[in-house]
């Protein structure tokens, strides 16, 4: 995250891929910046996919915290 927007490599990835039929949940680590408008901006760039609200984790997040968040999403149900 750079001042509330996704870094340019993420923009390129989103622009070059087709998310049709996919659920997309953005997430990032950042020492200070929140997600800001990055999710909405990426959704517009993608033009496809079911984009959901994302989450920002602090830079020292543990693997267990991320795994717990993913499990709480209940994506496989």
Check which CATH number belongs to the domain holding 68 and give it: 3.40.50.360
Confirm whether 2 is domain-assigned.
no
* Residue positions counted in the chain: 77
Write out the H or E segment, with its range, that includes residue 43: helix 38-46
In a domain, 57, yes or no: yes
Nearest CA to 7 out of 18, 65, 25, 36 is that of 36
Over residues 1-51, the pLDDT tens digits come to 677 778 889 999 999 999 999 999 999 888 887 888 888 999 999 999 999
Residue 77 lies in a domain: no
Q: What is the pLDDT of residues 56-75, one digit of tens each?
A: 999 889 999 999 999 999 88
Q: What is the rounded CA–CA span in Å between residue 29 and residue 41?
A: 18
What local confidence, expressed as pLDDT, does residue 24 receive? 94
Any domain includes 1: no
Domain extent, residue 47, equals 8-72
DSSP single-letter state for residue 30:
E
Q: Number of folded domains in the chain?
A: 1
Amino acid 77: pLDDT: 58
The verdict on residue 22 lying in a domain is yes
pLDDT score recorded for residue 32: 80
CB 38 within 8 A of CB 6: yes
């Amino acid at each position: 995250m750079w001042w509330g927007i996704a870094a340019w490599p993420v923009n390129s990835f989103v622009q070059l891929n087709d998310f049709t039929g996919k659920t997309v949940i953005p997430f990032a680590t950042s020492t200070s910046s929140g997600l800001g408008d990055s999710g909405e901006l990426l959704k517009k760039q993608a033009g496809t996919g079911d984009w959901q609200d994302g989450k920002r984790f602090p830079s020292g997040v543990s693997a267990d915290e991320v795994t717990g968040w993913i499990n709480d999403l209940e994506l496989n149900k």
